A and B are shown apart, each in its own frame.
Chain A
Amino acid sequence: MIPITDVSPDEGDLYAARKKIQPRSIKGRFNNVRWAMVWITQIVFYGLAWLPWNDRQAVLFHLVERKFYIFGIVLWPQDVLFLALLLIISALGLFLVTAVAGRVWCGYACPQSVYTEIFMWIERHIEGDRSARMKLDAAPMSARKLGLRAAKFGAWGALALWTGFTFVGYFTPIRELASEIASWSLGPWEAFWMFFYAAFTYVFAGHMREQVCKYMCPYARFQGVMFDPDTLIVSYDANRGEPRGNKKKAREGQVVGDCVDCDWCVQVCPTGIDIRNGLQYECIGCALCIDACDQVMDKVGRPRGLIAYTTERTLLAKKPAHEGWREVMAHILRPRVILYTSLLAFIVSGFAWALFTRTPVKMNVLRDRATLAREVEGGKIENVYRLRIMNTSEIARRYVLEVEGLPGAAIADLREIEVEAAGSRDIAARVQVDADALQPGSHEIYFNLQAVDAPDVRVHEKTSFLQPR
C-alpha cells in the first residue's frame, strides 16, 4: 500500500490572516505633535508649489527645461554634484536623528505616516469611531454601508488626486498644469503621472498603511544598526507594570503592578503591536501608546510614564521614566552622535560654500564635427566651435568671448553675447590662426568668457585647435 501524504499547500501561507487594524483614536501630547507635523508638512507640500518667485514658481524641478529652481538658486544638469551632496546630507541627517531620537521620522514626518493619518481622519469622520468601524466591517452589505464606503472612497480619491496634481506640479509648472486641466488639454504623460501618484497615495495610505512600514520599508529594517543603548525609544516599564492585572479584582495579598491590562496601548497602535512585549521593529515610534497609557494612569490615579520615551540604558538601570531623563540627557553627546554631527556640519558647510561661491556662468565647448579645420582667406586656418553659454544668475547678462593660448588667434565676427536670466544660448565661434604660425597637428587653446558688468563672472575653458597638413 502506498502511504498517502497530504501535500496540499499550507493555507495559512498563501492566504494569511488579513484582519484590518482599526486603531482607536486618542488625544494627548504626542498626538498633538503628530497633528502639528501633519499641518506643517502638508501646508508646505500643497502650498509651496503655488508660491511665486521672480515671476516663476519658487520651487520647480523643471524636467522639460532640465533646470531646478529653488527660490533664488537655479541648478543645471552640470550641478549634479549639489544633488549628490543633498542626498548625502539627507542620509546623514536621518542617521543623526535616528541615533539620538529613534524613529521620530517614521512617527511624525514620513509621508506614509502623515497620509495614513489624514486618510484615517477622513475615515473616522465618515464611518465613525473604532467600534463603529469594526461593526461596519463585520456587517453585511447594505444601502447604508454602501453609502458610507462610497463617501469614504470618494473623499480619499479626491484627496489622492489633489496630491497627485500637486506632485506633478513640482515637475512641470503648476499654473500651466492647472490651466491645462481646466481647458481639458492635459498632456498624456502629465495625466499619467498624476493618476499614478494619486493611485499610489490612495493604496498606500488608504489600504496598505502599517503593512508598508512593516513589510516594505527598508529603513524600518536597518534602523537597528543605527540604534544604541542611548537612543530614545518608546517603551513599557515592565518593572513597574508587571504583573499586570486589575487591582480591584486582585485577591487579597496578591501583588499587582501598575498596568491594569486595559489594552488601550494596543488598540491605539497604528501597527497593531503590543508595546509591552518589548521593542519591536514594527513600532514606528508614534508615541500614541504613551498618550493612551498616560490617560489610563491618570484615571487610575498612578503617575504617568508607564509607557514613555526612554532609553535602553535607563530601562536596564531600572529607573522609572520620569527620573530617567537625566540619564538620557547625560548620554546625548556620545561618539556616534559627535561623529554624525561633525560629518554633517562639514558637508553642509562645504555645500553652502560651493553654492555661494559658484560662478554664475557656465560654458560647454565642442569642436564642430561637421566642419573640420579649413583654410580661409588671408592665409588663415579656421576651426569652428559650438559653444553653449549658460547664465545661471537671475539677471540677463552680456559677455565677451576671447581666445588665448595661440599666437595671433582671433575670433571672426566677434561680438558681445547676450544671454537672458537663467537661460542658455548656443553660438558658433570661428577661430582663425595664421597658417604659417603653427605646426600641423593639435594645439591647446582656451576660451575666456567674461561678463561685461561683473569682472569676477568669468569662465576659462580648454579645447584644441587643429592645424591640417
Chain B
Amino acid sequence: MATEIEIEEVETRRVPGRFGRLFALVSWPSFLVAAVAETVFFSLINPRELYLLGEPVHFSPLATYTIGFFGFWCVAGASSLISSWMAEKMPACADRCVGRK
C-alpha cells in the first residue's frame, strides 16, 4: 500500500549579500520607526501650524505629511546605517562579554 514517494534534492535558500543585508538592516527598521514618529509628531502638531524658515508652511497637508514621513525615514535610516556600520566594525566579542558571544 505504501506509495513510492519521489525523492528530490532541494536547495532553496536565498541569502542576501552584503548590500542586501545592509538594505534589510537599514531600510526596514527605520521605516517602522519613521511611521511611529510620523504618527506621534503629526497627532500633536497640525501641519497647517508649522513654520518653515520663519514663514508659515504653505504646502498642502498631504504634502507636509509626505515630506515629514520621508524626512523621518531619512533621519532614522542614517542612524541605522551608522549603527550597522559600527556593528560590522566592532571587534569580536571576547570571553568576558556579557550575554551572547
**A residues touching B (Cβ–Cβ < 8 Å)?**
13-22, 63-64, 66, 77, 80, 83, 172, 187, 189-190, 192-193, 210-212, 215-218, 246-248, 260-264, 266-267, 269, 272, 296, 299-301
Contacts and interface: CB of A to CB of B under 8 A. Distances in A.
B7 A218 contact: no
Q: Which of B9, B12, B44, B46 counts the most A-chain CB atoms under 10 A from its CB?
A: B12
A215 B5 contact: no
Q: Which of B11, B14, B24, B28 counts the most A-chain CB atoms under 10 A from its CB?
A: B14
B10 A267 contact: yes
A264 B28 contact: no
Contact of A189 (B10, B12, B25, B62): B62
Nearest to A17: B15
A272 B7 contact: no
Contacts of A263: 7-10
Interface residues of B, number: 37
A15 B2 contact: no
Nearest to A270: B12
B32 to A, nearest CB: 7
B13 A17 contact: yes
Contacts of B44: 77, 80
Contact of A218 (B17, B19, B32, B46): B32
A267 B44 CA distance: 50
Contact of B2 (A77, A80, A300): A300
A211 B24 contact: yes
A16 B5 contact: no
A90 to B, nearest CB: 12
A215 B6 CA distance: 32
B62 A16 contact: no
Contacts of B6: 262
A193 B66 contact: yes
A301 B3 CA distance: 10
Contacts of A210: 14
Interface string B30-50: 001000000110011010000
B68 to A, nearest CB: 11
